[in-house]
């Protein structure tokens, strides 16, 4: 089916819905690299106006990637909840935007709607929204998950404590863990990107994390961000594994480039459940995504990178994850060229994930060859905090010495919590107060000055 829209006497024609979606996307380098971007601002506006008139139900009738050739498409269509979709099934994309910005779209109605939305629907409406629209709608949505604490509650923002080390040195990792805990970081997860995928090495890191969490009774969870099959093998070897991690993408071919498919993820999910290590809930999957991953694997099928990213959230929500993290600027300027594009992408990802019922966090980051700097990250951090992000990253000095990229630091999390009146997960906050790491001062959390020397000394000995 072809689409068209006239602007100022010029009629723009688009071969199919996939082209309308791609050319309606705000400008970004990845779509230009893929040859799917609008050729001019005028064409982009025409595509956006055309998209606004598309009925939402069209996305159930015209698959951007064929049902027969992609298991992610099959998952999206086969799991669609028609009853949940019914209240908005008569709307166009533009009407849907207006409804989302209205009072009728509140926390309860958006939660009920989530199973009735497809990634393509939420990607489409995001393309015709301003930054303030993305923030306003996303902050209405709460996606709460639990393992050993409660993440995503109103007025809360959690952090992943990321104590990476270029050689997986135990002393260096433990020192970063201590530093992060003293800034109130770590309630989302203490998660290590390993320098090696040796199963034996992964098991040793898991034992170390478990020893710290168990000894000091920290209400959080640990994770080694290794391949899902390595996690399964670690479980088979009896390692104390809390969360099962995997990077995922929005097409079958892109996931194949990661060495996974839906069956592999299901196996990892079931292996994690068999551990029965959660005390408050069984949300135990941790997924990471990023705009451009499908394009970098030449597995995008001509679909724009933001829509491919939203499709990854359909993969994620099948496994009831604890955490989903868009590593927004990590893939590089080939996909998100500068700070402006990174900021927009981070807000889009958070908006789309939350509407789909996914517990979204963001690694607010950039690589050193991107046209971006820490001021851009401060802006995105503050905007996402306002939008109700579930969690962000906490890394010593904002500089990951193992992965070689720039992200948010321990004190950045403290900043946004103080400015916006946000607090850690309640169970973790209680532990921080007990350990005198953070104290309540009116409506603000302040770093404690009288950390028990025994706790400090014990953690240093752990290193």
CB atoms within 10 A of CB 437: 20
State yes or no: 162 annotated in a binding site: yes
State yes or no: 288 annotated in a binding site: yes
What is the C-alpha to C-alpha distance for residues 362 and 388, in angstroms, rounded to an integer? 11
Provide the H-helix boundaries in 128-227.
131-138, 170-182, 199-215
State yes or no: 193 annotated in a binding site: yes
- Token code pair at residue 388: 């109700």
State yes or no: 296 annotated in a binding site: yes
Q: How many residues does the chain have?
A: 463
Half-sphere exposure of residue 172, counting CA atoms within 13 Å on the CB side?
Answer: 15
CA distances from 4 to 21, 47, 121, 124, 284 (A): 13, 8, 19, 16, 45
Question: 436: exposed, middle or buried (C-beta count within 10 Å: 0-12, 13-18, 19+)?
Answer: middle
State yes or no: 246 annotated in a binding site: yes
State yes or no: 53 annotated in a binding site: no
Q: Report the alpha-carbon angle 115-265-167, nearest 5.
A: 125
Element holding 326 (H helix, E strand): strand 323-327
What is the C-alpha to C-alpha distance for residues 334 and 219, in angstroms, rounded to an integer? 39
DSSP state of 27: P
Residue with tokens 């690589």: 367
CA distances from 160 to 5, 176, 190, 206 (A): 45, 12, 6, 16
State yes or no: 275 annotated in a binding site: no
- Token code pair at residue 285: 């999957």
Strand-pair partners of 445: 440
- Residues placed in the known binding site for substrate: 160-162, 193, 288, 363
Binding residues: 160-162, 193-194, 246, 288, 296, 363, 402
Instruction: List, as residue ranges, the binding site for adenosylcob(III)alamin.
Output: 194, 246, 296, 402
């Amino acid at each position: 089916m072809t689409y068209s829209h006239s602007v100022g006497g010029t009629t723009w024609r688009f071969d199919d819905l996939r082209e309308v979606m791609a050319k309606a996307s705000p400008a970004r380098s990845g779509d230009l690299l893929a040859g799917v971007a609008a050729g001019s601002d005028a064409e982009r506006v025409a595509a956006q106006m055309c998209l606004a008139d598309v009925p939402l139900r069209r996305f159930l009738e015209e698959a951007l990637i064929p049902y027969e050739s992609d298991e992610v498409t099959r998952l999206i269509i086969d799991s669609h909840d028609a009853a949940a979709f019914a209240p908005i099934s008569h709307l166009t994309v533009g009407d849907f935007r207006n409804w989302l910005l209205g009072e009728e779209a509140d926390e309860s109605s958006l939660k009920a709607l989530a199973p009735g939305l497809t990634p393509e629907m939420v990607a489409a409406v995001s393309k015709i929204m301003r930054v303030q629209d993305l923030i306003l709608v996303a902050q209405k949505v709460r996606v709460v998950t639990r393992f050993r604490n409660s993440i995503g509650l109103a007025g809360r923002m959690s952090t992943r404590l990321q104590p990476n080390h270029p050689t997986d040195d135990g002393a260096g990792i433990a020192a970063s863990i201590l530093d992060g805990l003293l800034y109130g970081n770590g309630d989302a997860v203490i998660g290590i990107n390993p320098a090696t995928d040796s199963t034996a090495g992964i098991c040793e890191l898991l034992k170390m994390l478990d020893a710290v969490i168990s000894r000091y009774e920290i209400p959080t969870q640990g994770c080694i961000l290794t391949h899902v099959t390595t996690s399964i093998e670690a479980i088979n070897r009896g390692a104390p594994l809390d969360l099962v991690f995997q990077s995922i993408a929005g097409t079958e071919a892109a996931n194949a480039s990661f060495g996974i498919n839906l069956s592999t993820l299901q196996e990892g999910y079931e292996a994690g459940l068999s551990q029965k290590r959660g005390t408050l809930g069984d949300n135990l999957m941790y997924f990471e995504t990023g705009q451009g991953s499908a394009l970098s694997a030449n597995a995008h099928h001509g679909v724009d990178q933001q829509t491919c990213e939203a499709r990854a959230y359909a993969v994620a929500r099948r496994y009831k994850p604890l955490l989903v993290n868009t590593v927004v600027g990590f893939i590089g300027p080939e996909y998100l060229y500068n700070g402006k594009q990174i900021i927009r992408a981070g807000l889009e990802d958070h908006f789309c994930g939350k509407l789909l019922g996914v517990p979204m966090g963001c690694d607010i980051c950039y690589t050193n060859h991107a046209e971006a700097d820490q001021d851009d990250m401060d802006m995105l951090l503050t905007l996402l905090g306002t939008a109700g992000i579930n969690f962000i990253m906490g890394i010593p000095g904002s500089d990951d010495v193992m992965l070689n990229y720039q992200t948010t630091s321990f004190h950045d999390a403290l900043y946004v919590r103080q400015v916006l009146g946000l607090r850690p997960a309640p169970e973790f906050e209680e532990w921080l107060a007990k350990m005198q790491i953070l104290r309540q001062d009116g409506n603000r959390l302040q770093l404690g000055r009288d950390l028990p020397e025994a706790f400090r000394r014990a953690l240093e000995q752990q290193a």
